[in-house]
Amino acid sequence: MISIKNLSKTFNKNIHAVKDVDLEIAEGEVVVIVGPSGSGKSTVLRCINRLEIPTKGSISIDGVELTDPECDIDTIRAEVGMVFQQFNLFPHLTVKENICLAQRKVRKRSKSESNEMTMKQLLRVGIPDKADSYPRQLSGGQQQRVAIARSLAMEPKIMLFDEPTSALDPEMVKEVLDVMLELASEGMTMAVVTHEMGFAKAAGDRLVFMDEGMVVEIGPPGQVFENPAEQRTRDFFDKILY
């Protein structure tokens, strides 16, 4: 479904964030990307919906080449949901308006259609009673769940999560991970950058370990955790798992 070939991204001509990354993500697959900070995992994710423009290499989604300057990126982005570390809800709009906006403007849904979809997604993430609240009236966990609902309302083919729980207070991590676990079990194609190894083990089909812009190791989460093939992977997990 997603095919990344020889992807490289260089910032300011000399900072090599991502070097020659190859990655295939199949339909319905949950790929978890882990690695130390600065290892390029977020950059890979952001290249998948072209928030970063690749310096080299190619990315295709459902056969459509993203690096082709002729491709209609807005149409592709509508099919690719993105959840950010900082939630990025629109503070001047209510929860309902946040979720309806793109449905109306991009999907061209009617008011009643988008309202119906909004309530359906809010129910799915467990906060239907917050429809008329403003984002700042919600807890971090609730805000992130609204952000997930906002993406889901577009009925995307794939969901990208960029450290969705890293900005949350510890007691709110679980409510967001629960939503993501359920999404994974429903067969959503997902690419998740996270430090939550529990989630990787429970929901991940494959684990990608990145370091210094390169993919070091790919494999089933259990195997990579317990019996990594590479020394660098072993060092990383030794530091973070206890």
Partner 1 sequence: MSRRKRNDKRSLSDELKWWDTFPWWGIAIVAILSWMGYQIVTKDSYDLAWDRVIPGISITITATLQAFAIALALGLLAGMGQLSKNVIFRNLARTYVEFIRGIPILPLIFTVALVLLPQLQNALGFKLSFQMRATVTLAFIYGAYMAEIFRGGIQSIAIGQVEAGRSLGLSRRQTMNSIVLPQAMRAIIPPLGNDFIAILKDTSLLSVLGVLEITQRARQFSASTFKFREGYFVLAFIYLILTLGLSLLLGVLERRMTRDDRGVRSNRGID
Binding stretches for partner 1 (CB under 8 A): 49, 51, 74-75, 77-82, 84, 86, 88-94, 101-102, 105-106, 134-137, 147, 150-151, 154
- Toward partner 1, which CB reaches closer, 51 or 71? 51
- Toward partner 1, which CB reaches closer, 74 or 186? 74
**C-alpha to C-alpha distance for 17 and 239, rounded to whole angstroms:** 22
CB of 139 to partner 1, least distance (A): 15
- Toward partner 1, which CB reaches closer, 44 or 154? 154
CB of 233 to partner 1, least distance (A): 30
Angle at 114 between CA 108 and CA 115, to 5 degrees: 155
CB of 14 to partner 1, least distance (A): 22
CB of 235 to partner 1, least distance (A): 33
Q: Per residue in 21-49, is it b (16+ CB within 10 Å) or e — as a string?
A: bebebeeebbbbbbbbeebbbbbbbbbbb
CB of 94 to partner 1, least distance (A): 8
- Toward partner 1, which CB reaches closer, 161 or 209? 161
CB of 222 to partner 1, least distance (A): 32
- Toward partner 1, which CB reaches closer, 22 or 155? 155
- 135, 91 Cβ separation under 8 angstroms: yes
Residue 141: half-sphere exposure toward Cβ, Cα within 13 Å: 15
Q: Which long-range contacts (CB under 8 A, 24 or more apart) does 14-23 make?
A: 16/213, 17/43, 17/213, 18/43, 18/44, 18/47, 18/213, 19/212, 19/213, 19/214, 20/57, 20/214, 21/57, 21/210, 21/213, 21/214, 21/215, 22/215, 23/208, 23/215, 23/218
Q: Per residue in 167-197, is it b (16+ CB within 10 Å) or e — as a string?
A: ebeeebbbbbbebbbebbeeebbbbbbbebb
CB of 237 to partner 1, least distance (A): 31
- Toward partner 1, which CB reaches closer, 134 or 237? 134
- Toward partner 1, which CB reaches closer, 25 or 99? 99
